[in-house]
Amino acid sequence: MKVGEIRNKLIEKGLKVTPQRIAILEAIVKLNNHPTAENIIDYIRKNHPNIATATVYKVLDALVENGLIKKVKTEKDIMRYDAVMESHHHLYCSESDRIEDYKDNELNELLEKYFEKKKIPDFKIEDIKLQIIGKFIKNK
Amino acid sequence: MKVGEIRNKLIEKGLKVTPQRIAILEAIVKLNNHPTAENIIDYIRKNHPNIATATVYKVLDALVENGLIKKVKTEKDIMRYDAVMESHHHLYCSESDRIEDYKDNELNELLEKYFEKKKIPDFKIEDIKLQIIGKFIKNK
DNA sequence: TGTCTAATGAGAATAATTCTCTTTTAATAA
DNA sequence: TTATTAAAAGAGAATTATTCTCATTAGACA
Ligand SMILES: [Mn+2]
Ligand SMILES: [Mn+2]
Ligand SMILES: [Zn+2]
Ligand SMILES: [Zn+2]
């Protein structure tokens, strides 16, 4: 994702284009794999040493609210963020904090078909995500 | 779940049987639907007014570590707990913090079959959970 | 180029959780 | 039943991720 592209997305959403917002979105994209606010701050401060912690949190909220990034569900007390906006699933390592994307259209279609038939009573589905928990095999 | 049953589970795991542990496990079972530590504390203090906050957190950790309860993944800074140990899925309300269980064996089998064929490279699956996000329809 | 409003920065405040240390208690052995 | 002991509980302080407040700055647009 180029800076121009990020700039456009901000404009589309009616958000002011600021160096902080660009840096934060860039960081999430580049870091990839679901960084925490702290990860993002550490990364950004290399080139942008004066950014305030509160600014990062506020920008993250704004980006989430405007659908430019997503929060990732975890069972930890630390929020993680995702710049991959297409609907996808996650591989959660059962022994570490590693979370990887899992994209699988065949699976998406299977699920869609399944839930077209099998309705859940009193519930309207908007999105389905798999948490696939397991171990990454070191492919050394 | 009866107190005798809870007592047995604690003994099985080699955990000392204490009134606090019994009260906490009972609370999670009774409250049902994924209470926070605070929900649990509020509930317990009715009958057990002197239980310390730190005790609740320590007991929750011990119960999780011993496989008697589970943490529930959310995108919030507040942990939630689940006493339903059979593998099941969750319905997440997109406009509130409501989380309901979704049990569906047909779905489990479908997924099992699917991932038997379709291997994920470098990853050994241990468990799969669906996050089904949507809206609960008021069935007034 | 100036105006205006939204965004940022700095640091204090908050809230969930964890830690430290003392006291209590469940398990078990005598 | 009582004594022993290690583990658990209680109290409150500490920590840490996040939020808030308020003064300053800087994009957007006229
Ligand atoms: Mn918090
Ligand atoms: Mn926290
Ligand atoms: Zn992702
Ligand atoms: Zn559940």
Ramachandran quadrant class, A34 (left: phi over 0; alpha: psi -120 to 50; beta: rest): left
pLDDT band at B140 (very low <50, low <70, confident <90, very high): low
Contact A107 B129 (CB under 8 A): no
Q: Which residues of B touch A77 (CB under 8 A)?
A: 77, 79
Q: How far apart are CA A62 and CA A56, in angstroms?
A: 10
Fold for domain B3-82? Answer: Arc Repressor Mutant, subunit A (1.10.10)
Contact status, residue A100 vs residue A130, Cβ threshold 8 Å: no
| CATH number attached to the domain at B89-134 | 3.30.1490
Q: What is the dihedral of CA B16, B21, B25, B27, to 10 degrees?
A: 160
pTM of the model: 0.93
- Digit-by-digit pLDDT tens for chain A (140 residues) are 789 999 999 999 999 999 999 999 999 999 999 999 999 999 999 999 999 999 999 999 999 999 999 999 999 999 999 999 999 999 999 999 999 999 999 999 999 999 999 999 999 999 999 999 999 998 75
**Domain residue spans of chain A:** 3-82, 89-134
Q: In the Cβ-directed half-sphere of A60, how many Cα atoms lie within 13 Å?
A: 24
What's the mean pLDDT when you consider all of chain A? 96
Tens of pLDDT, residues B37-72 = 999 999 999 999 999 999 999 999 999 999 999 999
Q: How far apart are CA B28 and CA B42, in angstroms?
A: 12
Q: Which of residues 66-85 of A touch B (CB under 8 A)?
A: 71-75, 77, 79
Which residue is it, tokens 């069972």?
Answer: A75
Q: Can you give the pLDDT at residue A140?
A: 57
